[in-house]
Amino acid sequence: MSLQGKIALVTGGSRGIGRAVCLRLAALGCNIWVNYVSNRDAADETVAEIEKKGGKGFAIGFDVADNKAVLQAIKEITAESAAPEILVNNAGITRDGLMARMKETDWDLVLDTNLKGAFLCSKAVMRGMMKKRWGRIINISSVIGFLGNGGQVNYSAAKAGIIGLTKSMARELAPRQVTVNSVAPGYIVTDMTSSLSEEIQEMIRARIPLGSLGTPEDVAGCVAFLASEESSYLTGQTLHVNGGMYMGN
């Protein structure tokens, strides 16, 4: 699954799933642009790991929910390397709380970053992909977007919205040979899940047929497949990476 020389932008690429995706795509030969919004040190660590393995990585800071910042970043990437040919919309935040007490600002922040950010970044790169008649857009959704979850109406709505965005973009871009797919992780071992108590983690594992939480590398493997030529006849689809927790269509 060689992607030698391809230019890839991974939003939220400094930690967790994003970092694993960066490393996996770099191993396939991509030049990786690692997006971050505030933690430059973490992004630099990801770049260092990429280069340690013989790849090329670059850190670039911008807020995916800020259209001007997105357009400027794509301009910088294109000038330094070339127009991105692979985009992984991974940037995401949570602001959990029961809907009855949820602040409007917490709703807006999550929808802006998790859904609007994917829209803005995709719009910014799609012209270059269409012109080249080759491109891969991979959106990171979540099992929560399919199952729902109490205390996460904003996150669930955003991740469900990612699925509709994926399908509609796939239809629009297919004539130009640009594929758009999504990956919906279940419970993955990240900073977020590691902070949960052992009791809560055990409750989660009991709901997963395979009996364990996934790893960022499990998700990264699916992203790499969707970015490769091996998936060239696959578009508008969602790969569920959740150990069997959700088995719907």
Q: Which run of H or E residues covers position 35?
A: strand 31-36
Which residue in this structure is represented by tokens 């899940």? 193
244 dihedral zone (left: phi>0; alpha: psi -120 to 50; beta): left
Amino acid at 165: L
Q: Determine the Cα–Cα distance for residues 224 and 102; give it in Å rounded to an integer.
A: 36
SS3 219: helix
SS3 128: helix
Long-range contacts of 233-237 (CB under 8 A, 24+ apart): 234/179, 234/181, 235/170, 235/173, 235/174, 235/179, 235/180, 235/181, 236/166, 236/167, 236/170, 236/171, 236/174, 236/180, 236/181, 237/181, 237/182
Amino acid at 141: S
Which of these is catalytic: 155, 187, 233, 246?
A: 155
Give the residue among 158, 169, 176, 164 at the shortest CA–CA distance from 117: 158
187 catalytic? Reply is: no
Q: Determine the Cα–Cα distance for residues 92 and 122; give it in Å rounded to an integer.
A: 15
Q: Determine the Cα–Cα distance for residues 23 and 35; give it in Å rounded to an integer.
A: 13
SS3 59: strand
Active site (catalytic) residues: 155
